[in-house]
Amino acid sequence: MRIDLLEAFGLDPNVIAILKQKYGAQLLPIQERAFKEYQILNGGNFLLSAVTSSGKTLVGEILALHYGSKGKRVFYLVPTKALAEEKYEQFHEDYEKAGIQTVISTHDRREYDERIEGRRFHIAIIVYEKLHSLLVGNPKLINDIGLVLVDELQYLTDEERGPVLEVLLTRILLNPKQPQLVGLSAVLDKSEALAQWLRAKMIREDKRPVELRQGVFFDGKFRYREFNSGLEGEEEWFPLKSEREAGQYVETARYLVEDKGEQTIIFLPDKPTTEALAHHLSHALNLSPADGAIAEMNALEESVSKDMLITFLSSGVAVHNADLSWEERDIVERYTRKGEIRVLCTTTTLAVGLNLPMKNAIVAPLRWKYFRDTRSLSKERILVSDYENMGGRVARYGFISDFGRAIFVTSSYVDYKFYYDHYVKGPIEEMT
């Protein structure tokens, strides 16, 4: 289905022109079904449960623009401030010229809160917890909203953000002036039950537009299972020399980036680890400097991260973590998309929402978890859903045409067997 045909469903021609310039002329299967088969622009609650890179985010974007172009207000809810900043900049830059006013509200960004309270906006990008806080102070704030769009709805299963999101959704569902409620989610085990609770029709998509090879690099070979086809195979790579995890990541990145010429993202459990590995990579790899990124970084005010980033960028490497300012993150993301940054080290918590032209994701198997009962932090294995989400950051439609890889790296047969059976072949966790 051509994107032009959305005019027949009531979408503003000016918005369509911008969308065509950004995304091309054709809609993906889930997008065509949402607009043509399910008539999502006509109202009603919906749950779009789909694999990463399937196109569900664009459905939400078009819905928000549809409401905004008609002067109606939208709450676009996201789980993290990093994703809120990314969405705000995207909407502000792309659609302000079409007369659509976008604002942002996080615990750090309060400058638009007065406009939100006064209903002087079209689209408000808000972090879950912040909207909950705003509604506690002003319960009637939801009354004048036409659409509530909830991105990354799978966070309902998250121990930290899930309870707040559940309370927020309950408040919206019980409101007598209930707006259209649309959730965007990764594929969940009990998505039908969730759709029933939301009083929503479900639109599901289990196929990625670009194939993803999920697997483990062990004993000189990358053994994988393809996400779409389910076929298993192996690629002959090289024997690992290092016994240390960091050394193995450096060796693997060198092979993928230098030998194969493929951009690679590495997901790690915390900020110090991203910076330490980026330091190792910047000395170990022979890559061209990210000159454009360095020039822009030099023009920024001094910060705790600036000098470190410039050092890494001199070797075509960067970090992406919560210590970076918005301006620094923006430079890193833009020059990754331009291809100057060849290796990106990031934290697992920033896996959500990143849309970058990566071919490979190297995934660390551990993450930090806060235990409320003991008030302590401890490392635990990532969830299958974490692995799916991190792997979903690569082989993005429009960037990669053949396939991408989501890679565990190990020299232990026991770990290889566990990673392959549990993460590559195992089911995603049930939603409780």
pLDDT tens string, the chain, 432 residues long: the values are 889 899 998 888 988 999 988 888 889 899 999 999 999 999 999 999 998 888 899 999 999 999 999 999 999 999 988 889 889 999 999 999 889 999 999 998 999 999 999 999 999 999 999 999 999 999 999 999 999 999 999 889 888 888 999 999 999 999 988 899 999 998 777 789 999 999 999 999 989 989 999 999 999 999 999 999 999 999 999 999 999 999 999 999 999 999 999 999 999 999 999 999 999 999 999 999 999 999 999 999 999 899 999 999 999 999 998 888 888 988 999 999 999 999 999 997 666 767 789 999 999 999 887 677 777 788 899 989 889 989 988 998 888 889 999 999 999 999 999 999 999 999 887 766
The CATH T-level fold of domain 211-424 is Rossmann fold (3.40.50)
Count helices and strands (H / E) in the chain: 15, 17
- Residue 252: name the closest of 364, 123, 86 by CA: 364
Specify the CATH number of the domain 3-205: 3.40.50.300
Measure CA 192 to chain center.
23
DSSP 360-427: EEEE-SEEEEEETTTTEEEEEEPPHHHHHHHHTTBS-TTT-SSEEEEEEE-S-HHHHHHIIIIIISSP
Q: In the chain, which residues fall in CATH 3.40.50.300?
A: 3-205, 211-424
User: What is the pTM (predicted TM-score) of this model?
Assistant: 0.87
Rounded-to-integer distance, Cα 142 and Cα 125, Å: 14
